[in-house]
């Protein structure tokens, strides 16, 4: 395979001994093996940022070898869970004996679990970090990392915000048509119009926030699980299209756009053709300043 099939995990190396890891999907197993080969066994001090706790973003952690090494230190940051579940309980839950032979407390590294909310930027080892909520069935955070004039942004497991009031309006009209409804009185129509207008403003504002998080990024890693043609049957699943990714990248004036969170049913050949089509589309838009490509396993990008 040219592109690969592991689930979400990436590493950002600002320099020195600093390690920033985003997500703990199955890709973290290979990352761990690579880290072991760098000669820093027992000296790793890494910050792990989780976009969210869906299984495909955490279930690689039991196979992350550096977590078993004494002396290594990991701090995990995760969106505050709306179900009042602690991150430590979620991570350890998948390592119960029914599922895995080694429990979390047998990992010999030092671990700290930190809950995050959307808020003002904060600094970790000289790296400025901004976290913003995204649009997914569970609470998700996108991250912006800034260091030494370079910016990397991760925005995946998200889809464009839409006006739910407008969708409900369409549904009511269809009910009237199918079941012989007599229509709405003028007061209700006015109320519906106000709701639709307000809903549009809110959706537009939330979508602008997604663009602003990516503003002027050197690298934007963005969700592109579906084509525009596929999306109508996937609305509400919490994933975006290639066109959505391009729209955000061009509006935000990013330098590089990496399509991410590939559909697991898509073959490499199909994805490579979509990649070429998207590159041509961006060129026709006159945006040669934006380089678009599909993220691949083992890919290294120097900024």
Provide the whole-model pTM: 0.89
Q: Are 30 and 6 contacting, i.e. CB atoms less than 8 angstroms apart? A: yes
Question: What does the pLDDT read at residue 167?
Answer: 58
CATH number of 1-146: 3.60.15.10
Q: What is the 3-state secondary structure (H, E, C) of 48-98?
A: EECCCCCHHHCCCHHHCHHHHCCCCEEEEEEECCCCCCCHHHHHHHCCCCC
Count of alpha carbons within 13 angstroms of residue 224, beta-carbon side = 24
Per-block average pLDDT, block size 10, for the chain (303 residues)? 87 90 97 87 90 94 96 93 78 91 94 94 97 95 97 97 68 38 46 80 93 98 98 96 98 98 94 97 97 96 95
Domain ranges of the chain: 1-146, 149-294
Q: How far, rounded to the nearest angstrom, does the alpha carbon of residue 225 sit from its chain's CA centroid?
A: 11
């Amino acid at each position: 395979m040219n592109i690969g099939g592991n689930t979400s995990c990436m590493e950002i190396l600002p320099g020195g001994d600093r390690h920033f890891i985003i997500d703990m999907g199955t890709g973290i197993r290979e990352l761990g093996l690579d880290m072991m080969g760098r000669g820093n066994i027992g000296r790793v001090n890494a910050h792990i940022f989780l976009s969210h706790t869906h299984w495909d973003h955490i279930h690689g952690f039991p196979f992350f070898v550096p977590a078993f090494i004494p002396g290594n230190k990991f701090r995990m940051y995760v969106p505050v869970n709306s179900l009042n579940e602690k991150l430590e309980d979620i991570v350890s839950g998948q390592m119960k004996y029914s599922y895995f032979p080694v429990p979390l407390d047998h990992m010999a590294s030092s671990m700290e679990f930190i809950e995050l909310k959307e808020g003002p930027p904060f600094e970790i080892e000289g790296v400025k970090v901004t976290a913003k909520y995204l649009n997914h069935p569970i609470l998700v955070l996108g991250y912006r990392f800034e260091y030494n004039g370079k910016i990397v942004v991760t925005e995946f497991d998200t889809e464009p915000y839409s006006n739910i009031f407008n969708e409900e309006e369409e549904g009511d009209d269809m009910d009237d048509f199918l079941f012989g409804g007599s229509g709405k009185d003028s007061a209700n129509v006015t109320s519906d119009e106000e709701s639709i207008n307000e809903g549009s403003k809110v959706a537009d504002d939330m979508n602008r926030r997604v663009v602003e998080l990516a503003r002027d990024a050197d690298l934007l890693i963005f969700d592109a699980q579906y084509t525009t043609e596929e999306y109508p049957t996937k609305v509400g699943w919490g994933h975006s299209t290639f066109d959505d990714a391009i729209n955000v990248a061009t509006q935000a004036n990013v330098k590089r756009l990496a399509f991410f969170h590939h559909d697991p049913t898509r073959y490499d050949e199909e994805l490579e053709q979509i990649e070429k089509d998207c590159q041509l589309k961006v060129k026709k838009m006159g945006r040669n300043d934006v380089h678009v490509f599909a993220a691949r396993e083992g890919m290294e990008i120097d900024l």
